[in-house]
Amino acid sequence: MEELQELRRYHDALPGAAPESIGAARSRLASHIHGNRRPRARRIRAVWGLSLTGAAAAALLAVAMTVVPGVTREAPDVPRDEGVEVPHARPSAAVTELRLRPVASARDLAGNAAVLASDEPEWSAGPTQWGYVKTLRAQTRVDGREWLRGEPAVTNTREQWRQLNDKAFATVEKGKLKIFKGSEFEVTYPYLLALPTDADQLLARIYETIDTENARNRASDLRSTQERAESRGKTPEEAKRLAEKSVPPLTRVQRDRWAFQLIAMGMGDAALPPRLRAAMYGAMAEIQGVRYEAKSSDLLKRRGITLYHVLDGYLRDEIFIDPKTYEYLGYRTIVVKDHKDGPFGTMKKGEIHNWDALIKVAVVDEAGQRPR
């Protein structure tokens, strides 16, 4: 198998070989090893590898089919006249392994996620279907308690359904499903699903969103601050100077943190196409200050790898990722250095401000429907 080892060794310096090219090379090598005997034909059965966010594609290909993360299901035998196209077989695990690189950085992680996502079926969920997300959340001061330190004493499980056009959402309250009109989410499905699946273009769109939103908010804050100053007897010029001093522009580090958070919020609250999720990892990898960590454990004690960003050396935002499937596992914000937080007191090293884990995600046909 020296030829395959050479292919692996020089993979990073060469363009990625197509799966059919690698398959042909394997056949030639096997034929040579076995004295040019013609290899026996193998019948390849079409399968769907359903990843955490690849669930949406399969939900559309089979009526009422639901998805659980990490499950691989074979495509059903569907007659052609039913109008359902059975997807082509995915490359073998050996071929995929040759296309993956050792992970030592955020960019390596994003590259491998893109390789795996490229083997997934196209995602074509309809706007009236529902994204199902089940999460586990640790209780912290956000829920009226003290900031969490160490393992949480209390956790809450939450199920939610969001229509992909974000015209309705649903939750379970006291055992009963409640459906609400509109959306309560900062990052909407229409926005997410319109994002490019190219990492650089996606990041540019994210920064454009942040800059537009910040400009609008800052203009409003400047106006109200200046009006208050003028009501206290300041001249318009003095009031303007005071307003600009009290409402400074967004710093580069703050802008980068907002970009990281915006992407993370999109992954945590939605069922997404695998190619989009991989592009999100790629965009995160290009944000200045984002780092990779090889070992981590999430809220459910699942082994993971981490992408993180530290704001001004004291506040670390991080996402957890499955090291084999590259599925999104969860999010945490933790204080890594004591920090004076203005009138709000001092943030203490070790305080956990947010911590949640993604349990299940799928696209379903109606609110209240759960993955089996």
Beta bridge partners of 355: 332
Sign of CA dihedral 214, 217, 223, 225: negative
Mean pLDDT of the chain: 77
Written as tens digits, the pLDDT of the chain (372 aa) is 433 333 333 344 344 444 444 444 444 434 433 343 333 332 222 222 223 333 333 333 232 333 333 333 233 333 333 333 333 345 455 545 557 888 999 999 999 999 999 988 888 889 999 999 999 999 887 666 678 888 888 899 999 999 999 999 999 998 999 999 998 888 999 999 999 999 999 999 999 999 999 999 999 999 999 999 999 999 999 989 998 888 888 999 999 999 999 999 999 989 999 999 999 999 999 999 999 999 899 999 999 999 999 999 999 999 999 999 999 999 999 999 999 887 778 889 999 999 999 999 999 999 999 987
C-beta atoms surrounding 283 within 10 Å: 27
* pLDDT score for 285: 96
Tokens of 38: 């013609």
Cα–Cα dist 65/320, whole Å? 28
149-180: burial string, b at 16+ Cβ within 10 Å, e else: eeebeeeeeebbbbbbebebbbbeeeeeeeee
233-253: burial string, b at 16+ Cβ within 10 Å, e else: ebeeeebbebbeeebeebeee
Model confidence over 208-226: pLDDT tens digits?
Answer: 999 999 999 999 999 999 9
Tokens of 274: 């695998």
* pLDDT score for 154: 86
C-beta atoms surrounding 127 within 10 Å: 12
Model confidence over 125-170: pLDDT tens digits?
Answer: 899 999 999 999 998 876 666 788 888 888 999 999 999 999 999 9
In angstroms, how far is CA 85 from the centroid of its own chain?
28
Every domain of the chain and the residues it spans: 2-103, 130-364
Cα–Cα dist 73/357, whole Å? 24
Residues ≥6 apart with Cβ < 8 Å to 361: 52, 53, 55, 69, 131, 132, 133, 134, 270, 271
Cβ atoms of 163 and 181 closer than 8 Å: no
Cβ atoms of 256 and 287 closer than 8 Å: yes
* pLDDT score for 151: 83
Cα–Cα dist 106/308, whole Å? 9
Cβ atoms of 121 and 58 closer than 8 Å: yes
Specify burial of residue 365 (Cβ count, 10 A radius: 0-12, 13-18, 19+).
Answer: middle
Cβ atoms of 357 and 151 closer than 8 Å: no
* pLDDT score for 92: 52
Q: In three state form, how does the secondary structure of the chain look?
A: CHHHHHHHHCHHHCCCCCHHHHHHHHHHHHHHHCCCCCCCCCCCCCEEECCCCCHHHHHHHCCCCCCCCCCEEECCCCCHHHCCCCCCCCCCHHHHHHHCCCCCCHHHHHHHHHHHHHCCCCCCCCCCCEEEEEEEEECCHHHCCCCECCCCCCEEEEEEEEECCCCEEEEEECCEEEEEECCCCCCCHHHHHCCCCCHHHHHHHHHHHHHHHHHHHHHHHHHHHHHHHHHCCCCHHHHHHHHHHHCCCCCHHHHHHHHHHHHHHHHHCCCCCHHHHHHHHHHHHHCCCCEEEEEEECCCCCEEEEEEEEECCCEEEEEEECCCCCCEEEEEEEECCCEECHHHCEECCCCEEEEEEEEEEEEECCCCCCCC
* pLDDT score for 152: 85
